[in-house]
Amino acid sequence: MAGNENVEEKIYNRADIVNFMGLTKDASTFKRMTGFTDNGKTLNSETYERRYVDEKSSRKDVTGYSTEIAYTFDRYTNNDVHDVVADVHDLEKTGVVVPIVAVNFNEAGETNGTYKARKRNYAIIPDSDGDGTDAYQYSGTFGSNGEIVEGIASTTDDWKTCTFTPN
């Protein structure tokens, strides 16, 4: 890009992209997801692949996604996010869907103190708990359950919680 010769590049720090979870599907306030040791996203691209008889190689097109966020967390007391997820594990609940807002602290919004964010509903898909020798750990995945909504996140409590405004 022309004109960016003197702009210093800065690596994205993992701690600068933070997830916040709504405690119910219709939540308007989202709590910071603390105590997570794994929170990586996998897109699980769905593809259509074919090879035409007049060509030497095949073609692929992305036709959809089955996005998941893997999670592992050290269980803490007095943590509402942990309580919701652990309840699904402990009581073997089905059909629990929560909204998650991913806030990117590298991308400021138009208003001072706001940041670009993406919100999506996810099903809580438990895998295991009780792992770890020091902390009791829970793990599983959050499976996408709807479309991504782009917007802006803001806070009034130094990012312990946030609100989300769609674009």
Domain that holds residue 162: 17-50+58-166
Q: Is the full-model pTM beyond 0.85? A: yes
User: Does residue 1 fall inside a structural domain?
Assistant: no
User: Does residue 4 fall inside a structural domain?
Assistant: no
The structure tokens 């036709």 sit at: 63
- Which residues 6+ apart lie within 8 Å of 57 measured at CB? 51
Please give the chain's pLDDT, 167 residues, in tens: 566 678 888 898 989 999 999 999 999 999 999 999 999 999 999 999 999 999 999 999 999 999 999 999 999 999 999 999 999 999 999 999 999 999 999 999 999 999 999 999 999 999 999 987 899 999 999 999 999 999 999 999 999 999 999 99
User: Does residue 3 fall inside a structural domain?
Assistant: no
What domain count does the chain have?
1
The CA–CA distances, whole Å, from 90 to 20, 35, 75, 114 equal 22, 18, 12, 36
